[in-house]
Structure 1
Amino acid sequence: MVNKEITKKQFDFLKTEFNYLEKGGVISEQEKERMLSSYAVKGNMSFITILLSIGALLLGLGVLTFVASNWMYLSKAVKFLLIIACLIGVNFAGVKWQVRFPKTARSLHYVGILIFGSGIFLIEQMFNIIINFNSSFLLWAIGTVFISYYLKDVFILLFTTFLLFIYINGSIFLDETSYPIAIILFLPALYILLKKFDYAKYPAFFINALAINTVALFLMEFVPKLNTENSNTIVLSILFVLGILLAYVPVTPKLQNVIHLQGHLLHGITALFLTFEFSIWFPLAYFIFLLYLILRGSLTSIVIICALIFRYYLDSFDFLPKSLTFIIGGIMLIGFGFFFENQRKKGGDLHG
């Protein structure tokens, strides 16, 4: 059986509890040690890791600024060879030191990622390659995703996702002739890679956000071309339904909290905009739906209700007394607080 990774704080808590059970005669010392050996402490970000990461950033920026300041004095051949030599050099050193100095090696790979990205833009400029900047970020992301897989590095995976955010949003908003079709191939690869990371929470959140961003942008791009009236309402309605589905779609337990939270946020945000598109029946129906979710223990729905109240408070600023709005909101929140406290005493389940 593979040892389960937990934080040092969790491990210390278990150790304290097992010591208590051992002193009480509930378990023996051998049983305590056997149970503790089933866990492995996660490596937290140490001072050395932070120091090396900052050092890698400064070294990468230093190399880039040195090359940029002397760029005009170098021939094309020297420029190209300099980029390739720096890229190969830092990554070779990283591989060479991987066993003896793993943290230092990783920082060198970070430098390599910065050199690789800047090299793409410099080579385009050097050889007058006509390519939009969005595709340059896509090429950068392709390189980093392989390094992320090789190193099993969460931060590089997050950086890859950040590059893809720039690629897809830049393609839609800044380059009307470029459609980010490549993201359709990239997203499944990211989810496959996410499985290799045991569905780590932060990469899962941002990869899901990238997927939602992709759906939203494609709807914004293609629905207006159907020549239908109220295309904005159609886009928002589709995203609203998508949010409801994400909030309740059955997924692996390791992704459940993240996806369900994003689903609630998506239907909450889109519902706020839809209140401007539909008559009073929609906000009333949605308000009842939120109350139902709260009764089921949804904490996120309280935040959405507060946003809904604030949205109508702004609309009714001229004729509704400010004090009355605060009183209604306060009574509702106190009522929710009482309900949840009562649920906890009864052993009820609270979730996002």
Structure 2
Amino acid sequence: MKHNQIQKEAKKWVEEGIISSEQYTAILSRYPKHDQRFLLMAFGGLFVGLGFLTFIASNWSDLTNAIKMVIILVAMIGFYGVGERIYRKHSQGIGATFLVIGVLTFGAGIILTGQMYHYMAYSATAFFIWSLAAIAIFILSQEAIMLVLAFGIITIGQIYGGFTYQDFHIGLGLLFLIGLGYFTYIHQREWISTLYAIGFVLQSLVLVLTSDLSYYWLFAFLLLLYSLSEIVPKDFPVQAFKRLAVAVAFLIGIIQVFTLQSGWVMQDIELEISFLLLLIVLAGWVVYRNITTHSLSGLVDLALFVPVFLLPDFKSAFVLVLLFIFSLGRLLLGYKDGDAEMINIGTIAFLVSTLVAYFQVAWDFLDKSVFFFIGGVLLFVLGYLLERRRRAFSRAEERGDRL
């Protein structure tokens, strides 16, 4: 909570006799008032740095290579030096801003040096070197913004390399998996876990798109991400791993509903034994963990990872069945355990699954105006019924009952 909000509430508690004046002072001391000048100074430093870089870029072609190198080195060392001094002796926030500009200048220097001397790049190695600098500064400063910058450089570099060179950079992949994975484990923050989960999915997507792996390998990678949440200690904030793995698997399931019925999609797909073995091992681990912890949510979620492409016929229909199994399973478990989040996820998933099924069945048979009219009415009715059920559950929960 913010300092002003705490101060306002605590005054009421003193007036009402809930706490004493000494307790009021002790509470406020736990929430120090932030100096808003930090934001002004931070943005000021950022704009000065960007203005300098923009000025140099606009006159870049008129400079000799020697002058260009001097400018790059002076700018980089200057931002690092000023940032380190301010960070250590004055303000950590302002110092971190200059350190960020220093890292950005370092990356720009790598790219500009390559252009100056006409180096030909065939991979995202420049981003790999750049990300090492960001990680090094993070290790020294332990500033969150530097970790976010490292996540961004590694992820953007991998995506850039995938689209530009059709190549998955092993160095960036390992640096993300091991290096950033280590920091995620050490710091145990929900927002870091979320960043790692997003980056993991994007790294997996680039790997599949740039290699000879078939699309179904995404399910193995997503299940691996899901399984990681079953390995770490219970107090580790890895719900983002499960949420993102389930959300992406659900989205791929929707895509499969409309694509698996087309013969051309399955023409070049061949089952790889390594994929099947990995999927079985990961699924077995999830089943084992859920049985030992007396939880059924993981068993329901596994419906999204079934390799439907192995079926001879009716693949799209079976995917729809699995989507409904997941949706209804989440709803029923949510009502059983009194978990509002699970109920909301199940409700949304059920409505989306119903809409997908309606599109799949009725699009080719109904007039388009009738199609959208009936679809809208159907969603209104389902939404009304599910909302009524949710409110009844909330009222029962307030009374201490269980539906």
Q: TM-score, normalised by structure 2?
A: 0.69
Please list, as runs of the form range in 1=range in 2, the aligned pairs for 1:124-143 lying within 5 A after superposition: 124-132=114-122, 134-143=124-133
Counterpart Cα distance in 1 of 2:245 and 2:161: 25
Aligned to 1:319, which of 356, 365, 375? 365
Contact 1:94 1:104 in 2 (8 A): yes
1:111 aligns with 2:101: yes
Aligned counterpart, 1:309: 354
Superposed displacement of residue 84, structure 1: 1.5
Match for residue 212 of structure 1 among 201, 211, 223 = 201
Deviations along 1:62-97, whole A, 9 cap, x unmatched? 33333x2323xx1x4433233222211222122233
Q: Give the corresponding residue for 1:191.
A: 181
Change (3 A) 1:347 1:253: farther
Q: Provide the alpha-carbon RMSD of the alignment.
A: 3.4
Distance 2:72 2:207 in 1: 36
Q: Which has the higher mean CA deviation after the structures are superposed, 48-57 or 284-293?
A: 48-57
Deviation at 1:140, TM superposition (A): 1.4
What's the % identity of the aligned pairs?
15
Task: Find out whether 1:89 has 2:81 as its counterpart.
Answer: no
Corresponding residue for residue 51 of structure 2: 58
Q: Is it true that 1:255 corresponds to 2:237 in the alignment?
A: yes
Of the structure 1 ranges 47-56 and 242-251, higher mean CA displacement relative to structure 2 is found in: 242-251
Structure 2 CA distance for aligned equivalents of residues 311 and 332 of structure 1:
14
2:67 counterpart of 1:78: yes
The correspondence for 1:281, drawn from 314, 318, 322, is 318
Rounded to whole Å, the distance in 2 between the matches of 1:46 and 1:271 is 44
Judging changes above 3 Å, is the alpha-carbon distance between structure 1 residues 286 and 312 closer, same or farther for their aligned structure 2 residues? closer
Say how many residue pairs are matched.
329
**Cα 1:280/1:150, change in 2 over 3 Å:** same
CA shift for structure 1 position 284 = 1.8
- Asked if the contact 1:56–1:107 (Cα under 8 Å) also holds between the matched residues in 2, the reply is no
Q: Deviations over 1:251-287 (max 9, x none)?
A: 6656344333313312221221232432413312321
SS across alignment from 2:189: coil
What letter matches 2:345 in structure 1?
A: T
- For residue 54 of structure 1, report the CA deviation from its aligned partner: 3.3
Distance across 1 between alignment mates of 2:231 and 2:22: 43
Distance 1:130 1:237 in 2: 36
Return 175-184 or 132-141, whichever deviates more.
175-184
Cα–Cα, structure 1 residues 279 and 265, in superposed 2: closer, same or farther, change >3 Å? closer
Deviations 1:41-68 (A, max 9, x none): 67777344334333333333333333x2
1:22 match? 14
- Matched to 1:158, the amino acid is V
TM-score, normalised to structure 1's length?
0.77
C-alpha change, 1:60 and 1:336, in structure 2 (3 Å) is: farther
Q: 1:216 to 1:107 in 2, by over 3 A?
A: closer
Whole-Å separation in 1 of the counterparts to 2:230 and 2:350? 19
CA offsets 1:133-166 (integer angstroms, 9 cap, x no match): 5111221111122223333333332232222123
| 1:264 corresponds to 2:264 | no
**Change in 2 beyond 3 A, CA 1:57/1:217:** same
Q: In structure 2, do the counterparts of structure 1 residues 56 and 332 end up closer, same or farther at CA, with 3 Å as the change threshold?
A: farther
CA distance in 2 between partners of 1:43 and 1:120 (Å) = 36
Secondary structure of the equivalent of 1:131? coil
Contact 2:123 2:169 in 1 (8 A): no
In 2, Cα distance between equivalents of 1:256 and 1:200: 7
Structure 1 contact 113–144 (Cα < 8 Å) conserved: yes
With over 3 angstroms needed to count, the CA separation of the structure-2 counterparts of 1:89 and 1:47, relative to structure 1, is closer
Change (3 A) 1:240 1:326: farther
Gaps of 5+ in 1: 1-6, 225-230
Return the offset for 1:15. Answer: 4.0
Q: 1:193 to 1:59 in 2, by over 3 A?
A: farther
- Letter in structure 2 aligned against 1:22: V
Paired amino acid for 2:365: F
Q: Within 2, Cα distance between the matches of 1:260 and 1:294?
A: 17
> Structure 2 counterpart of 1:192, which letter?
Y
**Poorly superposed stretches of 4+, deviation over 6 Å:** 42-45, 246-250
**Post-superposition offset of 1:13:** 4.3
Structure 2: gaps spanning 5 or more residues = 261-314, 335-339
> Which secondary structure does the structure 2 equivalent of 1:283 belong to?
helix
Alignment match of 2:113 (pick from 114, 123, 141): 123
| Deviating more after overlay: 110-119 vs 169-178 | 169-178
